[in-house]
Amino acid sequence: MTFKFELIKECKDTGARVGKLFTPHGIIETPVFMPVGTQATVKTLSPEELETLGAQIILSNTYHLYLRPGHELIKQAGGLHKFMNWNKPILTDSGGFQVFSLGDLRTVKEDGVEFRSHIDGSKHFFTPEKVIEIENALGADIIMAFDECVPYPCDYEYAQKALERTTRWAERCKTAHQREDQALFGIIQGGAYQDLREQSAKEITSLDFPGYAIGGLSVGEPKEIMYEVLEYTTPLMPKEKPRYLMGVGAPDNVVEGIMRGIDMFDCVLPTRIARNGTVMTKRGKLVVRNAGYAKDLSPLDSECSCYTCQNYSRAYIRHLLKANEIFGLRLTSIHNLHFLIALVKEIRESILENRFLEFREEFYEHYGEI
């Protein structure tokens, strides 16, 4: 097994920690933010740009790639790394969250989830075995077990049923998973109920996966609830395994997640808001599309060292966005990914230098929500 997690440092005041994740396509320094490349591309960017930004691993979506262009084609191409020309680590989700998000288009059964494609309405059936078959074909370094995600709020009975099914599906995923060069992570569910998270953590960790994720957060709950769930859930996850908080990437969520012991994050937020003309800064968000920036010749963030801020003005970027020019979307996407990746890197250093809480305090001094 080429997969290994090394815990390098733990913060003495909080749950924050620093580690290294060894994968077949390279070493990942944790904590880490993973840009999302849903359809085998991180929207607007090239693999080389991602590497320059310091991206260590990207996430891609099993549901989307299964529907288009199809996992068999990607397998024929030599796997997702080759297909998309990204030679560093990749994580694929299981499609659990994606099919859950389809709402009326899907029916959950004990064996799996029946759903209709959001592209052409065609009928499909995801079982744990099918999902593993697809993820094996895609060939990511880290793959996720098929889970049942519940919304917020969600009644207790349903949350319990879903977490128990998630456990049964996790077992089936483990049995179906064959490739030794891919690490299969289990997912803890249980909604916002402490005893259910405890039950799920116990059941899932008993299956001994090389890493564990917390699913079912960032699904509409207030952030205080998210932090609360993290507070009582991460201590139930083995210290010596990586901990991944799925679908979370707002800067303050990342700071708080790391403080509560999370090692890995992914989120479409930075690239999605970038394409809407909103950029992240340490002083909160800046809507560069706004008319107020039409003649502003300063960079998006004067303290930022990214390609965008080193070479272009707010006025130029706003012009591109107003004129529907793609290069504008590239520039804001680069800036936002740089911001999050650099933020996580700074946090990592602060943990290593025993000053994580000071860093957090400084962060909140200027931070306006995004």
Q: Which stretch binds a copy of itself (CB under 8 A): 14-22, 41-49, 127-135, 141-149?
A: 41-49
Residue 68 Cβ vs a copy of itself, minimum distance, rounded to whole Å: 6
Count residues binding a copy of itself (CB under 8 A).
Answer: 35
Residue 323 Cβ vs a copy of itself, minimum distance, rounded to whole Å: 5
d(CA 203, CA 273): 37
Q: Which stretch binds a copy of itself (CB under 8 A): 54-62, 77-85, 134-142, 191-199?
A: 77-85
| Closest CA relative to residue 23, chosen from 170, 243, 184 | 184
Residue 278 Cβ vs a copy of itself, minimum distance, rounded to whole Å: 17
76 binding a copy of itself? (CB under 8 A) = yes
- Beta strands at 284-287 and 278-281: parallel, antiparallel or unpaired: antiparallel
Q: 283 vs 295, which CB is nearer to a copy of itself? A: 295
Strand positions, DSSP E, 122-277: 123-126, 142-144, 183-188, 212-214, 243-245, 264-266
Residues in region 193-222 near a copy of itself by CB under 8 A: none
Phi and psi, residue 14, nearest 5°: -135, -175
| Closest CA relative to residue 42, chosen from 76, 79, 74, 90 | 90
320 binding a copy of itself? (CB under 8 A) = yes
181 is catalytic: no
Q: 160 vs 313, which CB is nearer to a copy of itself? A: 313
| Residue in 315, 342, 355, 367 binding a copy of itself, rule: CB under 8 A | 315
d(CA 369, CA 316): 25
4 binding a copy of itself? (CB under 8 A) = no
185 binding a copy of itself? (CB under 8 A) = no
79 binding a copy of itself? (CB under 8 A) = no
329 binding a copy of itself? (CB under 8 A) = yes
Q: Left, alpha or beta for 363 (phi > 0: left; psi -120 to 50: alpha)? A: alpha
Q: Which stretch binds a copy of itself (CB under 8 A): 80-88, 110-118, 170-178, 254-262?
A: 80-88
User: Is residue 191 a contact partner of residue 148, using CB atoms and an 8 Å limit?
Assistant: no
| Closest CA relative to residue 36, chosen from 333, 329, 343 | 333
User: Is residue 64 a contact partner of residue 117, using CB atoms and an 8 Å limit?
Assistant: no
String marking each residue 50-69 x if it binds a copy of itself according to CB under 8 A: --------------x---xx
87 binding a copy of itself? (CB under 8 A) = no
Torsion of CA 336, 341, 345, 346, to 10 degrees: 10
Residue 24 Cβ vs a copy of itself, minimum distance, rounded to whole Å: 20
Residue 39 burial by Cβ neighbours in a 10 Å radius (0-12, 13-18, 19+) = middle
Q: Alpha helices of 46-126 — where are they, by DSSP H?
A: 47-52, 62-67, 71-76, 80-84, 96-100
3 state SS of 69: coil
Residues in region 266-285 near a copy of itself by CB under 8 A: none
Write down the catalytic residue from 141, 147, 263, 266.
266
93 is catalytic: yes
User: Contact residues for a copy of itself (CB under 8 A)?
Assistant: 39-41, 43-46, 64, 68-69, 73, 76-77, 83-85, 294-295, 297, 311-313, 315-316, 318-320, 322-323, 325-330
Residues annotated as catalytic (active site), given as ranges: 93, 266
